[in-house]
Amino acid sequence: MHRGAHSWLHRKHSYACQKLVEQFAELTNTDEALAQFYLQDRDWNLERSVNAFFEAKKEEDEMKALQVDEESEIMVTFNSKLVSVMEKGVLTEEAPKNFCFLTWNIDGLDEKNLKKRTKAVAKIIEREKADIVFLQEVIANTLTYLEQLLPQFLFLAGDTEDYFIVTLLRRTTVYFDGQTVVPFANTCMGRNLLCVENKLFLAQAHIGDLKLHLLNSHLESTGEFAKQRVEQLRTGFTKMKDGPAGVTTLFGGDLNLRDKEVVAAGMPQGVVDLWEACGQRPECKWTWDTARNSNKEFPGRFKPRLRFDRVYQHTPSSSTLSAVPLHFGLVGLQKVINTQSFPSDHWGIIVHFEMVLRVGSWNVLSLSDDRRLPLLSGELSRLRVDIVGLSEMRRPGSGETSSGGYTYYWSGMSNGHREPYTKLKDLTCAHEYAVVVSNRINVLGALEDNVELWDTFKRETLQTAKECIGERPRSRRGFVATETLENIEESRTARHARNQDQYGSLSRRTRTLLRKDKERYVRNLAEDVEGHLNANALRPAYRALKKLRSKSPSRASAIRAADERLVSDMEGNGSIHGECILLSAPHSLSGWTSQSSCRPPAARTLSSLTGTASVAMPLASRLFCPQPSAAALGCLSDGLKLARGPPLLEAQ
């Protein structure tokens, strides 16, 4: 276009805008600056701009005055309806500990009793004290009416043509950050995904720590558009999975889903269906139920019932707070007063959440192998633990590492040696120990009795070690609980006091507690073996497996066999070859494992630790077994065979 033509069009546009400014100022009795402010925001539409000016002026008619001092007065203006709602609330600086979520297709396309039904929807929203509301099938008339009925909510519309989706945020509890409309590329009905990012907080308080990513959507309807609906659902799942770190995502609305379509879309790991998470109550399953809801009439005896409306949640492992669903229910189950209509042909879904910080502790036995970190992180994520204190990490020095959305911090000893050994490496301590031992041994020459000489040497050596090196506390069996030890102490006290009745009762209780402690110990060993197997940590898995099948060491170890070898030595030789044996469970051991968990045993296979053999055995996920008898151990020994080649026994 010619440069002169551009100049002419520019002058014409400027002249038209100036005329609109002058007309606005004349109609409203204001200046041109205010006229430009209103006109520019409304695409230079004079009628819309004038109407907006007078509506704003009408809302400013009601004012509240706050007296600051005797000489000055500050006037603060509010919407009158909003003021009346705010006055009913209680101001506090504490962050909310729970919130209420509601999603509902309000069927704005059905003109029958539309105004009464819309008013009933607004009453239910307020009665349930919902903080976040997803609405579908909203039209312009119902949107205007809802804004009048619910001034305490911030309305966010995905679109304002035909029918659309709207997200409502309660002004006193939810802080709005921003919104994004994501259109579906394959939509046949103009559907889109309204994405609202916000943070919860209470009025006149700082922003809360719970971050939310809200996805309100109305997916494609009818069975013939199943393919498009699956693609749209996959888009929503992708938005959930790829959300910002530390943000809890809620995705819901009238999704028009069938269960097979969810399987086809592939629900990502960490995403849960809140109906399923809250117990799958059958009375809350069908949200479009023509057998109970008469708004839509279906001829014949068949009345379709479907779970069209759904809510999904994704909670990241790195979030500061977790939103835990407490209750899942339906609303809109009663007909509107003075009508034969329900508020909508859909039931609304209401979910109550509690905001919690999950803190725990765990004795992990060892994290020296980095391959165990993903397994531990996966378990913490499954349990939705936010902060956990780990003991016995067995990592020297201090440092940090990340795995599975968690960051691990540790601070341990400078090396993995035990304290006495470390002290002996200190030359000063070693010299002191040598001097003291030498002085005490020098006096032993005067002793003529060999027994007295040995006892004195042993006593003096141990006493010197205690003084120079320090004494480690005597270790106890790992499966004895603190409660059992306290009960043993009480039993000992009763025996010294010659209280036979109390002693007998406490002894029986001690035996019961020891049996339970041992069962718990065996069960933990079985779970430890499974954990090593899942992490493909073969060597620690085999060590734990040997613990699981071995009996407790006997105190009477100086027993000789026919070949003059100590029994304890033969047991030791057997353990030396423990890493190159092929283990199978004999059928005669079925009595020993009869108290195993009712779940079917999982077949586990260990690759060869030496490169020449493999180990295979069925391992119950949780074992509850007593100490095996001598006969059972004999059968187990018969099942141990030396393997020199690659064949592998299959788990039975």
Active site (catalytic) residues: 254
Contact (CB, 8 A) for 189 and 175: no
Using the CB atoms, write b or e for 304-313: b if 16+ within 10 Å: eeebbbbbbb
One-letter identity of residue 464? T
Which of 578, 546, 588, 575 lies closest to 642, judged by CA?
578
Contact (CB, 8 A) for 583 and 617: yes
What are all long-range contacts of 276-285, with beta carbons under 8 Å and residues at least 24 apart?
Answer: 277/313, 277/325, 277/328, 278/325, 278/326, 278/327, 278/328, 278/351, 279/328, 281/328, 283/330, 284/328, 284/329, 284/330
Query: CA-CA distance, 310 to 312, in Å (whole number)?
Result: 7
Which of 417, 254, 268 lies closest to 347, judged by CA?
254
Query: CA-CA distance, 280 to 354, in Å (whole number)?
Result: 19
Apex 130 CA angle, 345 and 277, nearest 5 = 75
Query: CA-CA distance, 571 to 589, in Å (whole number)?
Result: 21
Helices (H), 312-395: 373-382
Compute how many other C-beta atoms are within 10 angstroms of the C-beta atom of residue 635: 18
Q: How long a stretch of residues is the chain? A: 652
The helix, strand and coil proportions of the chain, stated in percent and rounded to the nearest 5, come to 40, 20, 40
Contact (CB, 8 A) for 79 and 85: no
124: left (phi over 0), alpha (psi -120 to 50) or beta: alpha
Contact (CB, 8 A) for 348 and 128: no
Using the CB atoms, write b or e for 33-69: b if 16+ within 10 Å: eebbebbeeeebebeebbeebeeeeeeeeeeeeeeee
Which of 104, 124, 108, 113 lies closest to 334, judged by CA?
124
Instruction: Give the CA distances from residue 181 to residues 159, 167, 177, 245, 531, in Å, rounded to whole numbers and listed in that order.
Output: 9, 12, 14, 21, 44
Query: CA-CA distance, 285 to 307, in Å (whole number)?
Result: 6
Specify the pairing of strand 211-218 against strand 192-200: antiparallel
The strand pairing partners of 180, in sequence order, are 195
Which of 320, 319, 323, 317 lies closest to 406, judged by CA?
317
